[in-house]
Amino acid sequence: MAKGVEEFWKILHPNIEEIKYSDSGDRMLILRHLEEINKDYDEMINGYKINGLKIDERKIVKGIVDHYRVEEYFELLYPDYSRMTNEKKYDVGSDKAFMQRHVDDIKEMFSNAKLKASQEEGDITQDREREILQAIVREKKALFKVDNIGNALGITNPHHTNQKDTLPEGPDE
- Could you tell me where the beta strands, DSSP code E, fall in the chain? none
Which pLDDT score, from 0 to 100, does residue 166 have? Answer: 57
Domain boundaries, the chain: 5-160
Query: Do 73 and 106 form a contact (C-beta atoms < 8 A)?
Result: yes
Contacts of 60-64 with C-beta under 8 Å, sequence gap 24+, read 61/8, 61/11, 61/12, 61/37, 62/12, 64/37, 64/40
Which pLDDT score, from 0 to 100, does residue 155 have? Answer: 61
pTM above 0.75, yes or no: yes
* Sequence-separated (6 or more) residues with CB below 8 Å from residue 164: 91
Which pLDDT score, from 0 to 100, does residue 104 have? Answer: 93
Residue by residue, pLDDT tens for the chain (173 residues) are 788 999 998 999 888 777 777 677 899 999 999 999 999 999 999 998 988 888 899 999 999 999 999 999 999 999 999 999 999 998 888 899 999 999 999 999 999 999 999 999 999 999 999 999 999 999 888 887 654 555 556 665 444 444 455 565 554 44
C-alpha to C-alpha distances, 173 to 21, 27, 128, 131, 167, nearest whole angstrom: 30, 35, 15, 11, 12
Which pLDDT score, from 0 to 100, does residue 16 have? Answer: 78
Which pLDDT score, from 0 to 100, does residue 156 have? Answer: 55
Where b means 16+ CB within 10 Å and e means fewer, 49-74 reads: eeeeeeeeeeebbbebbbbbbbbebb
C-alpha to C-alpha distances, 6 to 3, 12, 41, 132, nearest whole angstrom: 8, 10, 15, 29
